[in-house]
Amino acid sequence: MDIVLKRSWAEIDMHQLERNLNIYKESLNGSQRIMAVVKADAYGHGDCQVARRLSLLGVTDFAVASLDEACKLRDAGVKGEILILGYTPPEYASVVYAKDLIQTVISEEYAEAICETNVPFRCNFALDTGMGRIGLLTNEDDGCNETIKKYSSKLQVEGVFTHLCVADGNDEESKRFTKRQIAQFENVLEKMPELKYNHCLNSAGGLWYDSKNADIVRLGIVLYGLKPDYENVIPEGIVPILQWKSVVSMVKWVESGTSIGYGRSFVTKRRTKIATISTGYADGYNRLLSNKGFVLINGQKAFIRGRVCMDQFMVDVTDIENVSMGTEVVLIGKSGDLVYTADDMAHDIGTIGYEVVCNISKRVPRVYI
């Protein structure tokens, strides 16, 4: 059977994706080209669809988190360069090579393990300038220059990159730290022979920083129209490309004193019109929204009553007209004059927009408009 639409679905606006890309490029601090970060199924937006569209728009560089993600793109016919940002077990080196992918070298130990496989795959060395995650530490003399040189004869080292960890912070300490990270990255590159790909800027970095050694910006979250940090002001015209919608399955009036949902965590204080929504936490609708969040119906807010269930949840529609079986509900997006973004939802439950969109589960079909 075909996927069932009109239960819970995500609409993705591909024209807005294009607008976001173009506005971002215009507002860059330098003249870098874009490496589109499409890991985690393009932050839940659909990696193959997004990458194919970006290819048509002239993007030739992509980044993913894993070998599986990279192979999926290759097998879908995505041309251009695909960089794997995370760990690939050395025993898969031949796959990296065969699919013409670029692998991140995480550590000297990793470089050594790859050399032992005798597969001279293409790679970028990661530098740890302050993230504390992967990469060669840059704060020790010239150790990493020596390491990279040592492996340059055995592997196809095509680039060096680092990752900024507070480029979205607007306070002085974050700015100082970010500038220091970029300086350390540049310091390593100064003593290196010319390489093809050098990159240190993420979405936030591209907007608010620059580096003479960065030819490429690794653009993730802002491409999808979300903000690295809730307090950030991103360029005008960049807006979310995803809306998440669902429908009402049932509407009923209940008396005052009626409990709603598991655990009876909500009890009505008045005669209340309750609508049941056909989305739940198995769809990625966060359970922390229980008794807290709201959805948009007919341009109005309808607050969640009781706990979010696996496949459904209930809202109060007492003051909203024209709600019945099949009425469209906006979980994330726009309804009338109201807008509720993934960033807003994330802010309400103490996380980040990245997590909200990544968590929209595979049960929710993506529809491209």
Ligand X SMILES: *Cc1c(COP(=O)(O)O)cnc(C)c1O
Applying CB under 6 A, which residues contact ligand X?
37, 39, 85, 163, 202-203, 218-221, 228
Contacts of 278 (CB under 8 A, 6+ apart): 7, 8, 246, 247, 248, 249, 311, 312
Q: How far is the CB of 136 from ligand X (least distance, A)?
A: 14
Q: Which residue has the tokens 């007919």?
A: 298
The one catalytic residue among 24, 39, 209, 245:
39
For residue 55, the tally of other CB atoms under 10 A from its CB is: 17
- Please list, residue by residue across 36-46, b when 16 or more beta carbons sit within 10 angstroms of its beta carbon and e when fewer do: bbbbbbbbbbb
Q: Could you say which of 6, 150, 212, 262 is catalytic?
A: 262
Q: Are 151 and 157 in contact (CB under 8 A)?
A: yes
DSSP string for residues in 115-161:
HHHT---EEEEEEESS--SSSEESSSTTHHHHHHHHHHTTSEEEEEE
Reply yes or no on whether 39 is catalytic. Answer: yes
Measuring CA to CA, which residue among 61, 59, 67 is closest to residue 84?
67
| 129 or 312: CB nearest ligand X | 129
**Considering the complex, what minimum distance in angstroms separates the CB of residue 248 from ligand X?**
34
Please say which residue, 20 or 272, places its beta carbon nearer to ligand X: 20
**Cβ atoms within 10 Å of 109's Cβ, excluding its own:** 9
- Residue closer to ligand X, measured from CB, 210 or 311: 210
**Shorter beta-carbon distance to ligand X: residue 221 or 330:** 221
Cβ at position 167, least distance to ligand X in Å: 8
Query: If you count them, how many residues does the chain have?
Result: 369
In the complex, least distance from residue 125 CB atom to ligand X, rounded to whole angstroms: 13
Q: Output 206 or 293, the one with its CB closest to ligand X.
A: 206
Nearer to ligand X, 61 or 316 (CB): 61
HSE, side-chain direction, 13 A CA sphere, residue 163: 18
* 262 labelled catalytic: yes
Residue with nearest beta carbon to ligand X: 220
CB 279 within 8 A of CB 312: yes
In eight-state DSSP terms, residue 351 is S
CB of 263 to ligand X, least distance (A): 36
Q: Are 87 and 113 in contact (CB under 8 A)?
A: no
In angstroms, give the least distance from the CB of 148 to ligand X.
18
Catalytically annotated residues: 39, 262
